[in-house]
Structure 1
Amino acid sequence: MKISTILDQIDMGSMALPEFQRGYVWNRNQVRDLMNSLYKRYPVGSLLVWETKRDKTAARGQSNVTDNVKMLLDGQQRMTSLYGIIRGKAPKFFDGDPKVFTYLYFNVEEEVFEFYGPMKMDGNPSWVDVTDLMKNGIEPFISKFSEDPEKSSSLGLYIKRLNQIHQVQEINLHVEEITGEDKDTDTVVEIFNKVNSGGTKLSKGDLALAKVCGSWPEARNELKARLERWKKAGFDFKMDWYLRCINAVVTGEAKFQNLDDITTKEFKDGLETAEKAVDKLLNTISSRLGLDHDRVLGSVYSFPLMCRYIYNNGMSLGDHRQRDQLLYWYINTMLWGRYAASTESTLDKDLDLIEDTDQPIENLVQELRQNRGDLKLYGSDFKGWSRGARFYPMLYMLTRVWHAKDWGSGDELSHHLLGNLCGLQLHHIFPKAYLYDSDYERREVNALANMTFLTQETNLEISDKPPIQYFPEIEAKHPGVLASHWIPMDENLWKKENFKDFLVARQELLAEAANKFLNELKEGHVEENEFTHDVFSEKREPLYIRVDSIADQEEEQLLSDLQSWMSGQGLPEGEWGYEILDENEEPQAIIDLAWPDGVQKYLSHPVALLIDEDEETKKIVNKAGFRYFTSAEEFRKYILEEILVLNTI
């Protein structure tokens, strides 16, 4: 099929060019190479499309749109680039930076493609705007070169070269089509990933969204608007996750193939219903459990099920007892990694448990018991280390729900604290450097039982003092505040040589506090909060801050600035505190900022930023397949030169 015909079909809507969830990920170098290959008539690969029925309701009144639509599966990046170059604008569903494929120029003398650079191109007639050539043909350029004494002698050669570019539109690309009513979402994804085994993987969510966009072009932007709203409130979710919530609400199933048979109206209704359900859950979990930020939220793939439960229950969480039992189940899914693996099959099984039953939550809890045997927590469960451990949100939650008090002021560490120095910070009870001097291992130093939350002001005041020094001062000033953080009160355990015994004793106290709260929650005996709030009502500064010393505060600012810079480049911000796990799902290393799928999702290597990390961590990260950088400057250079290819401008 000719490239010009493909572009016409995209304009008519008979071929959909969705950018799926990863958006447009090519850089200028790749766009330039594509045009150079087409100019030289090199092969650029075939296209893969899936012909499927569109929602007829959405197509009414659009005489130029057929009942079927061809979803472009393989070749998105190539056709998006060509569309941008030839049409001079981005196609529908585009999600990326259009500067990547605009302002491409061709030098008629040197036969090279480059993106616009004023110092090199302004006033130099040898440079031709490729989009201008594609849209207006070669006649204007013939006239211009004819009038130029230096160019007229080579006019025939220039015409030949310009015509060779203009005729790119007439190049035939081989198109493979997947057709047949038996080709559902799962089948098509399997076919694509087998055909494209060495390249970008297509997810089921990618394809489900592509089909929705084929009937409702605004769908992707509507989903993104909700995700952005939640992000501003402190909850950074993925589009695949929200799509799963919508699917659960509309179909009662987890598998995306169930979206194949729903209409656009049903999807729109489901989108709005899922949004309301998620809002209700975030407000409830934040107010009731104190989990007010995505880095302490945990178990986000329990949300689709809870959204369905709310939908089945008339958009209600039920009475106070039902609400708290659901929260009890939610916390346990977080602690035991209910959806850590086989998310789709596990979620489908759980969705079945809440349909057509008088005791949906009891069914869910019983299923957890059958898998775990016992939902009781033990001290050993708090042996985990690092801020990435599953029990880390539990430590944060206990601080909130049991009204732990600040060691400096004696005030409760509650949500209504105000002021720049009153946000909660992570505090190492035994200072890190203090323990490293005595050859304690990293896992011991960063054990959860050696962490607690304090206000920034108190954290700065304690600084690097050892507990044997500052604990007595705190207890004398505010009796009982240490115990409110589950600190063992045996003073012998406050000594450095007894640090390991301190950890064991505190683990037991934490387990006891956790079991007490969970049991009361399950039985509906937890008192109602004196406060409730809407996490979307105003701009909130999250209580959870990732720092634990002045040095770390500087590091956090550096990482935050880098994320803002990445966002400004139209690139993903990266994941904070990304864990590298061993075969037993125990954390081996924590990456400050990570792009596990690459900055260009699936098209570039996994990338990590490691600030002031030891050699052991670097080796682990490297062995896991990450390309790592040890400074923000090195990382920015990599982005500019290898991802954005801006050194050529």
Structure 2
Amino acid sequence: MRCFSFFGDRFLWKTKTLPKLKENSIKTPDLLILDGQQRLTSLQRLLKGEIPVYFNVEDESFVIYSSKLKNVPSWVSVKSVLENPITVWNRIIENLKIDKTSPLQEAYMNRIQNLSQIKDYSFPVLTLHTDDFEEVTESFIRLNSKGTRLKFAELAMARLAFNWPGALNDEFKIALTEYENINFDFSPSFLMRCFVVIGTDQSSFKTLDTLWNERKSNLPSIWEKTKKSIDTTINFLKNNVGIGSSNFIPSTNALVPIVYYVNKLNSKLDDGSINGILFWYLAATGLGRFTGGAEAQIDNDIKAINSEAPIQNLVKNLRRSVASFEFTPEMIAGEYRTNKFMPLLFSLCRKKEAKDWFNGINLNAGNHGSENQIELHHIFPKAVLKDAEIETELIDDLANIAFLSSKANKEISKTLPNQYLKKIENDRLKKQFIPIYEELWEITRFKDFLQERRKLIIKELNLYFAEIGKSFIEN
């Protein structure tokens, strides 16, 4: 039984002077773990019984406990074996009714003893004795750059933590919590990407020597600019795009050029800049500019922003990958979960001041109260369409999705559209591009309904793009 052959080496660091750790630490540790912390934590939880692992004495297999093991005597708690193996063995012999002369007695005893000896297992430990923080940081990065254990963003954050002690806990963590509280659930790597582009005028995490060397003393100032620019970008999304939640942002990479541009303008955007960024963001989202590799696209956009005509050159970057900014109904067909037009549809509904079909409150992802939270509603109920043997990809098509409050969504439930849509004001239906021809609300006309709604959505989307992008498209 080779239970821990996969645990590998532990890599520790011993120093006389530790860098700043978390605020309000109970005590300063003697050693820090550079590599192997997650594995050790899992092992500790297993040994303490926090992870209820059970062992089968018959086939020597391990599983996490479930109720189906309750009355199966061959399964025993690993924690119990570690605490008192003799008691566990006696209970097994009794419960399985094994005869004293049976060879199974000795076999099971050996298996229990082998398992109990886990406590005596010796792990290889390498300890780095140095007070050179730069050497330790480099060692950490070298350890974690091999394989796929850490991403480049996480390695960059390790360098940031070394060069600016407390940055991650005192600045990044607080900012992430603040954003999460207003429905923008960003990742640390997004913050780091924004920090890097503002600090280095490029987006790669691999070439940051300038940031750590020449601009090391400017790190707090760079973060202040980054935080201010992200704040302004969020306000832009909420007030100008109509997006009040990160749920409607398919890729945060599309926000990075906006954050960079906002910083260049010192968060002072005139009407022309706002219209330009609005057009660029919606077009970049709808055209899927950031669905592939992000760094090359972001770097091209940074160059455009640093030119004499930022918006025009941002739009030129988009033109290189598309023949036209005119959308067609076929382009928005597809499952809503992965549909890049989802945020555009929500933005259009917000622009038209669409209201909840029942309570009349304007659609807003930041609405207060659980019953007022915006949910995605299948206009033709999923269950009904499944019974009619409609393909799953059509059931979940974006054209079958509307935005409603949680309460309204639950009230409609499995009701057919030819029953509940009649009770809703036509104006409210039109603002979510619902065809008002009642014959299309029949289950037999479902596919026709999808086609008609796509046409209505695209017509409005093209009008909207022509309005906000007129000067940029023509130039």
Aligned residues: 390
Question: Distance between the aligned counterparts of 2:380 and 2:46, measured in 1?
Answer: 58
- Corresponding position of 2:229: 277
- The residue that corresponds to 1:464 in the other structure is 414
1:321 aligns with 2:269: no
Q: TM-score, normalised by structure 2?
A: 0.70
Partner of 1:53: none
| 2:379–2:401 Cα contact (<8 Å) kept | yes
Instruction: Provide the C-alpha distance between the structure 1 equivalents of 2:405 and 2:323, rounded to a whole number of angstroms.
Output: 38
Distance in 2 (CA, whole Å) between partners of 1:430 and 1:265 is 59
Q: Identify which of 165, 176, 190 aligns with 1:241.
A: 190
Structure 2 match to 1:211: 159
Equivalent residue letter for 1:304: V
Structure 1 residues 394 and 339, CA gap change in structure 2 (3 angstroms): same
Residues 1:264 and 1:436: Cα distance change in structure 2 (over 3 Å): same
Unaligned 5+ runs, structure 2 = 20-27, 49-76, 85-116, 129-133
Shift of 1:341: 1.4
Aligned position for 1:266: 218
- TM-score normalised over the length of structure 1: 0.52
Change over 3 Å in CA distance of 1:165–1:459 after alignment to 2: closer
Q: Does 2:459 align with 1:512? A: yes
* Deviation of the 1:99 alpha carbon: 5.9
**Match of residue 364 from structure 1:** 314
- CA offset at residue 45 of structure 1? 5.4
1:503 equivalent among 430, 443, 450? 450
Structure 1 residue 321 displacement after superposition: 2.0
User: Structure 1 CA distance, aligned partners of 2:123 and 2:206?
Assistant: 40
1-structure distance, mates of 2:193, 2:334? 30
* 2:289 pairs with 1:341: no
- The structural deviation recorded for 1:364 is 0.5
Q: Deviations over 1:99-119 (max 9, x none)?
A: 65779999xxxxxxx9999x9
Deviation at residue 300 of structure 1 after TM alignment: 0.9
Q: Does residue 443 of structure 1 match 2:393?
A: yes
The structure, 1 or 2, with the larger RCO (C-alpha pairs under 8 Å, 6+ apart) is 1
Following TM superposition, by how much is the alpha carbon of 1:428 offset from its aligned partner in structure 2, in angstroms?
A: 1.2
Superposition map of 1:42-441 within 5 A: 44=8, 120=83, 196-197=146-147, 200-221=148-169, 222-262=171-211, 263-316=215-268, 318-355=269-306, 357-414=307-364, 419-441=369-391
Instruction: Name the % identity.
Output: 26
- The residue identity in structure 1 corresponding to 2:229 is A
Q: CA deviation at 1:507?
A: 0.2
* Structure 2 SS opposite 1:371: coil
> Do the aligned partners of 1:324 and 1:524 also contact (CA within 8 Å) in 2?
no
Query: Residues 350 and 363 of structure 2 are in contact (CA less than 8 Å); yes or no, is this contact kept in structure 1?
Result: yes
Where does residue 74 of structure 2 map in the other structure?
Answer: none
| d(CA) in 2 for partners of 1:342, 1:396 | 26
Is contact 2:348-2:461 (8 Å) kept?
A: yes
CA RMSD of aligned residues (A): 4.4
Task: Judging by fraction of residues, say which structure has more helix.
Answer: 2
Alpha-carbon distance in 2 for matches of 1:326, 1:461:
39
Cα deviations by residue, 1:260-303 (Å, 9 ceiling, x for unpaired):
12233222211121111001101111122221111102331122
Change (3 A) 1:378 1:484: same
Q: Provide the rounded CA distance (Å) in 1 between the counterparts of 2:30 and 2:373.
A: 49
Seen in structure 2, the aligned counterparts of structure 1 residues 481 and 388 have a Cα distance that, compared at 3 Å, is: same
Gaps (5+ residues) in structure 1?
Answer: 1-28, 35-43, 50-61, 70-85, 107-113, 122-160, 174-178, 526-649
Q: Is the 8 A contact 1:247 1:258 kept in 2?
A: no
CA change 1:308–1:406 in 2 (3 A) is closer
Maintained 8 Å contact 1:421/1:455 = yes
**Change in 2 beyond 3 A, CA 1:422/1:88:** same
CA deviation profile, 1:412-443 (whole Å, cap 9, x unmatched): 43578655433322221111122222211111
CA displacement 1:375-409 (0-9 Å, x = unmatched): 22211122111333211122222221111233224
Asked if structure 2 preserves the Cα contact closer than 8 Å seen for 1:403 and 1:414, the reply is no
1:315/1:63 CA distance change after superposition, 3 Å: farther
Tell whether the 8 Å contact from 2:176 to 2:185 is kept in structure 1 after alignment: yes
SS in 2 for 1:372: coil
CA distance in 2, matches of 1:488, 1:92: 60
